Amino acid sequence: MKLTFRHYVLLYLLQKCNGDRSVNAIFHILQGKRSSQTIQDVKWYGVTPFFSMLTNWRASSFEKEANALKGHYFTENSRKQASLTTKGEEVVTAFLSKYEWPHYFQGFKHGQAAPVFWKRLALFVQCLSFSIHNERSFLPVFDDVSVQQWLKQRWPKSKAEKKAAASQLHNELYNVLKNVPQRDAVLFTNRLSGYQCTGQTLHQAAYRLHLGEDESAFRFQAVLHDLIEHAKTTIYLSQCAAGLTQKQVLTETARKTRMYLMKGMDIDQIAKARRLKRSTIEDHVVELASEEPSFAIHSYVPVSLQSDIMKAAETTGTFRLKVIKEHLEWHNIAADYFAIRLTLAYFGGSHKHARRLPV
Amino acid sequence: MLEDYLFKYFGYTSFKENQKSIIQAVLNQQDVFAMLATGSGKSLCYQLPAFINEGLTVVVSPLLALMENQVQELKQKGLKQVAAYNSFLSFQEKNWIMQHLDSYKILYISPESIQQENVCEALAKQQISLFAVDEAHCISQWGHEFRTDYLQLGKVRRALGSPPCLALTASAPPEVRDDILYQLECVRPVLFCDSIDRTNISIEAASVPTTEEKKTTLLNYVKSMPMPGMVYVSSRKKAEQLTRLMTDRLDVSAFYYHGGMTQEDRNLIQQQFLQGEVDVICCTNAFGMGINKPNIRFVIHYDYPKDLESYIQEMGRAGRDGQRSTSIILRTENDLFLPRHLIEKEFPAEEELSAVLTWWKEKSRQWDLTFLIQQCGLEEVHARFIYYYFKKWQETETASQDVDIEEVKTYLLEIIHKRKTWKYRKLRQIEQWLWSDDSCRRERLLHAFGEKQKQRLKQCCDVCGISPLRQEKGHADQAAGERTWQERLASLLHP
């Protein structure tokens, strides 16, 4: 079996997950599924950059390829959980030792914003380019009314303003691109359209650079993430990113649950009011524990239990709930799954660095 | 003088061939049917009357991109009282247009939108000076891009007070023309028809022994031919495969184009082709509508189209500049299966019909497209078909409130049968034309469209004998890709 980029990424993520997770969990990470489970997975296992990394991977072919990896003894399963074999560990290590990762990529933070950011940026560059070369008729790269409206609102009026904007945008792009691997800069600029040079499709750009399609798609996204990350200190890149980066991390349904919680209802009451299962509401609360800076965890899990749970996770070296629960029981500590999930989510989530364990 | 208006609004000093007579007929409030070659100024035929007349001209147009282009072009000319109304606008944008109808001279609208009650009502309150239908062959049940929404346009026209009607198309054989006029309820229409004969395009059918050898034949043709050119194929996959083949084996830059690509990619490829950055486009019939590239030298049909109308349209993309060009169709005996398969796939199967109808009745669901597409998982074309003809059945006399599924099914199957029979007939027509070598291919093509050949051509067709079209100058400049990224970025954004 000839391993390609996507296989290495899958193997790498399985490795990061310590044999705790199924291959499907990895698929959800790569697809960028915004469910509380997947969001927590990327945080617990420290793989937030990989969130929504390979969105073009179809479910059907994923299953086939994951099975092939198992069939060729790169991975093995114990029940549903998948882990690497020695052979798998070896190829991942070899891959990592020579693979030059992009300068920056952060799928969890910027993956959602990147597609619209690109549409705005590409259209902006194209329109400026034709306009400063006094050419008015061309085919816009994007027909989306919303993107065109966005541009209309910021379109510079006078010739001088257009020239100034083009020059400024040039410098903003240049300053980021000069710091990324050269091939990534080529990949990115080749995709931009303008006067007398039409952008290439991703497929064409990949072909010219002898890159596979997954890898070129990934590296192209990485440049976008880099641009978004640097947008704060710019004029036009920040306009392209405006309103996209502050997207809610919470799923909509979890936000609804939060509203009920703030009204003072408890989980059972909310489940009844929303006609949902208790376990569903629990999922939402776990999500809130992970994402909400002001989440009051002590009102669900006593402080001493929190610290017991985290110690158990550390000792057992896993985030698997069953293992942690059994470990705690062994020490005569009673904890239900909900308490464990909440605690792991809370300390593994956005509070990871902001807070210390209250030991 | 009409020319004064022409200059005032559009800055031109004279009309092209038929334009003036058509515009005069339109201004005389007559119903007009005009079949004009693409690039001969079709749109001016309603645009100029729109600005001369009192009231609003409604233009029904099937293609979003076409609408947007035309609106943009008019606005660039300073003619700003125009708008395009379609389902892609936001709620607010739609409302704004509907509330300001009296400030427009031309409203472009999709056939789907114009049937919405509120839209139709708002329009009915306006004085409609002209009801124009672009790409009118889509109206005909026998046209090659049949869309059920179009079949309601007669009714819509009546609701708008039966304003004068102008039907425009690039290709319609007599039976399609008659159907259009019938559907639009035209009264004593005036007809204008350009000849479909493209005298600067030679026509050639090339026999290939096996499907596999088609590839070699294609490569040989493309290698020897002047650029740019197009290759039409019947499937997305084939478009991609043949592109790879040409790129690997030949010194040309080729790329594919089909409906399965993202809008961004399609726009990029189209623009690259227009700019001369790509030599050969290998495409399905998704490519073409509204594209005007004057210097295409060859159109190769790797697979032959499903009827002669499609052929005329597709080969007609060559040689718009009047220079010598060629159309080549590859034929092998094994080709017979695929087009038949495609026809079968266009219609829902009998079991599918039964299942959908039964389910619908049992659950007593709303009869709408959402149900058919999302609940039943039908392909969109099938869903539209079933949806439309079910509604039509309800209008028939025998239909009762309590829907008899068997009866509906029989009705639908009969229609499917009728339409399939027609399609097979059209297919056999092009196959006969393609496979028979005993008399002039061009003459037989013209005959199918009710025309006669006016002059003998030097480069006519493979039966009459033609000298091959040879390459004179080099291929597209690929050096552009060799620049550094810094140079590329600078050339984009520095004047």
Domain with A42 in it: what CATH number?
1.10.10
Amino acid A359: pLDDT: 30
pLDDT tens for each residue of chain B, 495 residues long: 899 999 999 988 999 878 999 999 999 999 999 998 776 788 999 999 999 999 999 999 887 777 887 888 888 788 889 999 987 788 888 899 999 999 999 999 998 899 999 999 999 999 999 999 998 988 887 776 677 888 889 999 999 999 999 999 987 888 889 999 999 999 899 999 888 899 999 999 999 999 889 999 999 999 999 999 999 999 999 999 999 999 999 988 999 999 889 889 998 999 899 888 899 999 998 887 667 788 999 999 999 999 998 899 899 999 988 899 999 999 998 888 888 988 998 898 888 888 888 888 887 777 788 888 877 888 888 888 888 888 888 877 776 777 788 888 899 999 999 999 999 999 999 999 999 999 999 999 999 888 888 888 889 999 998 888 887 655 555 544 578 999 999 999 998
In this structure, the answer to whether residues A16 and A141 fall within a common structural domain is no
Domain check: are A237 and A119 in the same one? yes
DSSP 8-state symbol, A197: B
> How many distinct structural domains can be found in chain B?
2
In a domain, A246, yes or no: no
B224 and B251 together in one domain:
yes
Structure confidence at residue A356 (pLDDT): 36
Same domain, A264 and A228: no
CB-defined contacts A:B, below 8 A: 103
Instruction: Evaluate whether residue B146 is within a structural domain.
Output: yes
**Using a CB cutoff of 8 Å and minimum separation of 24, what contacts does B445-454 make?**
B445/B196, B445/B203, B445/B308, B445/B312, B446/B195, B446/B196, B446/B197, B448/B173, B448/B308, B449/B171, B449/B173, B449/B174, B449/B196, B449/B308, B449/B312, B450/B173, B450/B174, B451/B195, B451/B196, B451/B197, B453/B197, B454/B195, B454/B197
Q: Is B271 in the same domain as B174? A: no
Same domain membership, residue B247 and residue B165: no
- A358 within some domain: no
Please tell me whether residue B364 adopts helix, strand or coil conformation: coil
B40 and B185 part of one domain: yes
Dist. CA A10–CA A84, nearest whole Å? 10
3-state helix, strand, coil in chain B (%, to 5): 50, 15, 40
Task: Kindly state whether residues B140 and B214 are assigned to the same domain.
Answer: no
- Does one domain contain both A128 and A233? yes
Interface contact flag, A125 B492, Cβ < 8 Å: yes
Residues of chain A neighbouring B495 (CB-CB closer than 8 A): 132-133, 163, 166
CA distance B454 to B340: 35
Token code pair at residue B225:
């031919």
Task: Give the best residue of A134, A176, A203 to mutate against chain B (max B CB count within 10 A).
Answer: A203
Question: Which of A215, A241, A267 is the last residue before a domain boundary?
Answer: A241
- Shared domain check, B23 and B139: yes
Substitution target in A197, A219, A224, A227 with the highest count of B β-carbons within 10 Å is: A197
CA B148 from chain center: how many Å?
Answer: 15
Confidence at residue B158, expressed as pLDDT on a 0 to 100 scale: 95
Mean pLDDT of chain A: 89
pLDDT by residue (tens digit) across A146-157? Answer: 888 899 888 998
Same domain, A225 and A260: no
Same domain membership, residue A226 and residue A287: no
Res A358: pLDDT: 34
B259/B291 same-domain check: yes
Residue where a domain terminates, one of A48, A72, A97: A97
For residues A200 and A126, membership in a common domain is answered with yes
CA distance B276 to chain A (A): 10
What letter does residue B440 receive in the DSSP assignment?
-
User: DSSP characters for B123-158?
Assistant: HHTS-EEEEEETTGGGGSTTSTT--GGGGGHHHHHH
B121 and B155, same structural domain?
Answer: yes
Per the structure block, which two tokens stand in for A203?
């497929």
Domain match, B52 and B155 both: yes
Among B193, B228, B249, residue at a domain's last position: B193
Inside any domain, residue B406:
no
CB contact under 8 A, B493 and A169: yes
Q: Which domain holds residue A26?
A: 5-97
Q: Is residue A355 part of a domain?
A: no
Domains held by chain A: number: 3
Residues of chain A neighbouring B486 (CB-CB closer than 8 A): 174
Same structural domain for residues B44 and B178? yes
CATH number for the domain that contains residue B35: 3.40.50.300
CB contact under 8 A, A139 and B274: yes
Q: Is residue A12 part of a domain?
A: yes
Query: Is residue A247 assigned to a domain?
Result: no
What residue in A sits closest to B489 (Cα-Cα)? A189
A181 and A214 share a domain?
yes
- A231 and A277 fall within a common domain: no
Residues B84 and B225 grouped into a single domain: no
Angle at B122 between CA B119 and CA B124, to 5 degrees: 105
Tokens of B344: 């079968």
Of the residues B193, B217, B237, the one at which a domain ends: B193
Please give the residue range of the domain that contains residue B106.
2-193
Q: Rg of chain A over CA atoms, in angstroms?
A: 24
Kindly state the DSSP code that residue B228 receives in the 8-state scheme.
Answer: P
Where does a domain end: A194, A215, A241? Answer: A241
- Other residues' Cβ atoms within 10 Å of the Cβ of residue A290: 27
A82 and A116 belong to one structural domain: no
Q: Say whether residue B253 is in contact with chain A using an 8 A CB cutoff.
A: no
| Interface confidence (ipTM) of the complex | 0.78
In the predicted model, residues of chain A with pLDDT beneath 70 are 245-249, 349-359
Radius of gyration from C-alpha coordinates of chain B: 24
In chain B, the largest separation of any two C-alpha atoms, in whole Å, equals 73
